[in-house]
Amino acid sequence: MSAPYNHKAIEQKWRSNWAKNPVNVNDGKKPKYYCLDMFPYPSGNGLHVGHWRGYVISDVWSRYKMLKGHYVIHPMGWDAFGLPAENYAIKMGTHPAKSTAENVEKFKEQLSDIAAIYDWDMEVNTTDPAFYKWTQWIFVKMFKEGLAYEKEFPINWCPSCKTGLANEEVVNGCCERCGAEVTKKNLRQWMLKITKYAERLLNDLDKLDWPEKVKKMQTDWIGKSYGAEVDFPVEGRDEKITVYTTRPDTLYGATFMVLAPEHPLAASLAVPETKEAVDKYIYDASMKSNVDRLQDKEKTGVFTGSYAINPLNQAKTPIWLSDYVLADYGTGAIMCVPAHDDRDFAFAKKFDIPIIQVIAKDGKEIENMTEAYTEASGIMIHSGEWDGMESAVLKKEAPHMIEKRGLGKATVNYKLRDWVFSRQRYWGEPIPIIHCPKCGNVPVPEEELPLMLPDVTSYEPTGTGESPLAAIEEWVNCRCPVCGADAKRETNTMPQWAGSSWYFLRYVDNHNDKELVSKEKADQYLPVDMYIGGVEHAVLHLLYSRFYTKFLYDIGAVDFDEPFHKLFNQGMITGKNGIKMSKSKGNVVSPDDLVRDYGCDSLRMYELFVGPPELDAEWDDRGIDGVSRFLKRFWKLALDSREADVKATTEMVKLRHRLIYDITQRLESFSLNTVISGFMEYNNKLMEIAKKAGGIDAETIETFLILMAPFAPHMAEELWEIYGHNTSVFENRWPEADESAMKDDEIEVPVQINGKTRAVIRIPADAGKEEALAAGKEAVADKLDGSIVKEIYVPKKIINIVQKPGK
RNA sequence: GCAGGAGUGGCGGAAUUGGCAGACGCGCAGGCUUCAGGUGCCUGUGGUCGCAAGAUCGUGUGGGUUCAAGUCCCAUCUCCUGCACCA
């Protein structure tokens, strides 16, 4: 009788063995592989089974790479600054520094249950002054390069979080964090000129082995478009209005013009008769929240009373104001071609503005137009000298023609906006800038960094647009590092993204107080080969990190310009009916009980077995029994086989190599759920053989152990030891399948008649067509009627005999 | 509205990319072990007809290509995700 599998004792034993003798060591000869997890914000709620999934995937991948002969960099750290940490501290009535430290401890404890090969010597914490020194250093560098600048303008403001937000943090007009409706607030802000990198951020996506979905999201977010800026002189005035259009080919069809209510000329275009209505419209628009503005699909607008002159045909074009034109995109003014744009069409219909078709659809002019014809395909009509041209061609050429004639210029536009970088909150990196009345904005000298976040007792947000730091006079008042005059510190802090935009660079050199990361370490270990995490950061963290890396590349701090070579997004683990796990829903499943009852190895495997790693999966506790049973059966098979000590049969050897082949293939294609089912399948087959043979040969069992080691490391180590080895199972190399050993002499081939399987025959694997068909026909002889039309043999796959139907 | 993804047993899911649909697991049913519960082991498990052998239908829906379609093509419905007045 073999000893039952005692997960508790075995897992404890190996946990302490690994602590003494780590399995992932850098001997300086092995090639590196950097496998990174998105580091967590250490929340007070602890880990749930959803967190586990990503960490298990990355650990399995890391251990696999280890067995493939790599030194694996697999670090972990804490994204501990930011709103959630601060809000949590406020709720608990404690200081965020204290609650964060406690939460980190709690998280680390729970994380240890996963038994990942994290190298804790590399640990980083964004709130550690030795870390944020470099977060601030990057900001100073950006300031010196002119990429960080101050600006006052109406920004997105979350009234609940009491802070300004970046565009990326506003989702459907609501705060990404708390869901509150975002309003506008006029505030002095620090901005990062991410738009300067728009083109590179867009182009370099091609270099990345990332999910298409994420690339697409970033492409859309950057939102590049080609078009022209065209100048429309205002009638009777010495001013002109510049519009941006992607369809300069339709210029002859412009029957009106619309300005955003926030356009600088908007109010001044009113004439005495329209002044009241125009002012009211501008005022009303300024009062509308983002959400209202988004939801009101019904067009509103007001005629200013002024006209602009179409520079091409000198047509008098009425100027309107409407909030469907956005002030901060393009020039904040558009020419309107109702015949060829849906929105302009709706507006023209509502306000009874003429519609002029300038592109013939299917060679014809449309009578009684009911919707805009928006495709750039067809011959130009009513377009003066452009008549007869192909619209698609003209669309490309028109910007240059307009530029040549001095009527405007060809331009490129992006949806991407500069990054609103300051937050009016306490728990973040202080922005290292000093406001000097004489010298203006002066960065804190690099040798004085880090600029410490002052320790205070009261840090709650003021809600006024001022940071809580503004109230700390002894901190705010300082001297200008340039001229020595009395000066004041910047009191805003950085957003949570500041630290997470570069943390992955710091792991490999986390104690360096001279550089962000040394050249040697960077060359040796960076960049990241595989990055694993949820898809929710597609246009936030992942875009910001790329921007930061490119900047650091430009100033020579690193010599690569993309941080993450390969990206994998794991799906979310949800509760029943796909509902997101959350404390308030009460559907959070903690891994703690499962680890206690089933063991770490079982839970690791079940996390993968729940479904394809890239898809969301509903958690069902009961499923873990299947994995647990499998592990117990394998355990028993291994122990019984050890005792029986049987010689390998060709059948066992064949299965051994097929196992290697199948598992490796599935692993390489990241089909981790089928890797687990593969283990189960082969275990079932081996048990069947062992029933007859008394056991399985040692080499096959040991091969199984090595393959399973990344998934169930504790059991693999224990059995490896039981099999008489005094080294770790991870000192092995990943086995390779010998395809010649996998082959069958005889194969099973289904025989179909008219596509329906009527028999299955066994034939020699190397049987020729004649031989196979003869055997096939013999097997279904009683069902053949002599009217054979066609005979098909796909080698090793199938036989299909086609006969006339009806008999 | 636009873009992307997905629809397969009671459930999670598999299918070497055009070649026996439902691997693997959960659940369920019957049996063995047990004083009993649990565990463990064995058998069965898409629908319909049949004691059975077997037949027949079957991958959201409708059509098509093919000797052969979950897989390819056309149309259509539903769900999820992202973007959304970006001129």
Percent of chain A with pLDDT over 70: 98
Whether A256 sits with its Cβ under 7 A from any strand B atom: the answer reads no
pLDDT in tens, A284-294: 888 776 666 66
Mean pLDDT of all residues belonging to chain A:
90
Instruction: Read off the pLDDT band of A295 (50, 70, 90).
Output: low
Q: What is the Cα–Cα distance from A433 to A493, expressed in whole angstroms? A: 11
What is the pTM for the complete model shown? Answer: 0.92
The stretch A167-174 carries a mean pLDDT of 82
Q: Is the pLDDT of residue A477 over 70?
A: yes
Predicted confidence at residue A609, as pLDDT, reads 94
Can you say whether residue A113 is alpha, beta or left, with left for phi > 0 and alpha for psi between -120 and 50 degrees?
A: alpha
Query: Which of A18-27, A239-248, A576-585, A726-735 is predicted with the least confidence, judged by mean pLDDT?
Result: A576-585
- Nucleic strand B within 7 A of Cβ A334: yes
Which contacts qualify for A798-801: CB closer than 8 Å, 24 or more apart? Answer: A798/A749, A798/A750, A798/A752, A799/A749, A799/A750, A799/A751, A799/A752, A799/A761, A799/A772, A799/A773, A800/A751, A800/A752, A800/A753, A800/A754, A800/A755, A801/A751, A801/A752, A801/A753, A801/A754, A801/A773, A801/A776, A801/A777
Q: What is the pLDDT of residue A291?
A: 65
Distance CA A753, CA A749 (A): 13
Where does the pLDDT of residue A182 fall: very low under 50, low under 70, confident under 90, or very high at 90 and above?
A: confident
> Is any atom of nucleic acid chain B found less than 7 Å from the CB of residue A382?
no
Mean pLDDT, residues A660-664 taken together: 95
Q: Which two tokens stand for residue A539?
A: 């246009």
Is strand B less than 7 A from the beta carbon of A579? no
* CA A783 – CA A777 distance, rounded (Å): 9
Mean pLDDT for A216-241 is 92
Q: Quick check: A320 CB within 7 A of strand B? A: no
A754 touches strand B (CB under 7 A): yes
Q: Give residue A296's pLDDT.
A: 60
What does the pLDDT read at residue A297? 67
pLDDT of residue A156: 86
Question: Each residue of A430-457: pLDDT tens digit?
Answer: 999 999 999 999 999 999 989 999 988 8
- At A510, the pLDDT band (50, 70, 90 cuts) reads very high
Distance of A757 CA from B51 C1′ (whole Å): 25
Which of A120-129, A207-216, A728-737 is predicted with the least confidence, judged by mean pLDDT? A207-216
pLDDT at residue number A760: 83
Q: With 90 as the cut, is the pLDDT of residue A374 above it?
A: no
Q: Is the pLDDT of residue A218 over 50?
A: yes
**CB within 8 A of A378, min separation 6: which ones?**
A359, A360, A361, A362, A363, A390, A391
The answer to whether the beta carbon of residue A792 comes closer than 7 angstroms to any atom of strand B is: yes
Give the pLDDT of residue A803.
Answer: 80
Distance A328 CA to B60 C1' (A): 44
How confident is the model at residue A805, as a pLDDT?
58
Strand B neighbours among A 18-77, CB < 7 A: none
Protein CA A151 to sugar C1' B23 (Å)? 62
Q: Residue A253 CA to nucleotide B62 C1', Å? A: 43
Q: CA–C1' distance A752–B74 (Å)?
A: 29
Residue A330 has pLDDT above 50, yes or no: yes
A518 CB closer than 7 A to any strand B atom: no
The confidence score (pLDDT) of residue A95 equals 92
Is it the case that residue A781 has pLDDT exceeding 80?
A: no
List, for residues A71-103, the tens digit of each pLDDT value: 999 999 999 998 888 888 988 889 999 999 999
In the block, tokens 């077995």 appear at A609
Please report the pLDDT score of residue A807 as a whole number: 40
Q: Which nucleotide is nearest to A678 (CA to C1')?
A: B24
- The residues of A between 264 and 303 with beta carbon within 7 Å of nucleic strand B are 293-294, 296-297, 299
CA of A681 to C1' of B46 (A): 22
A608 pLDDT more than 90:
yes
B chain positions with any atom within 7 Å of a protein CB:
3-4, 11-15, 19-21, 23-27, 39-42, 55-56, 67-69, 81-87
* Cβ < 7 Å from strand B, A residues 386-415: 413, 415
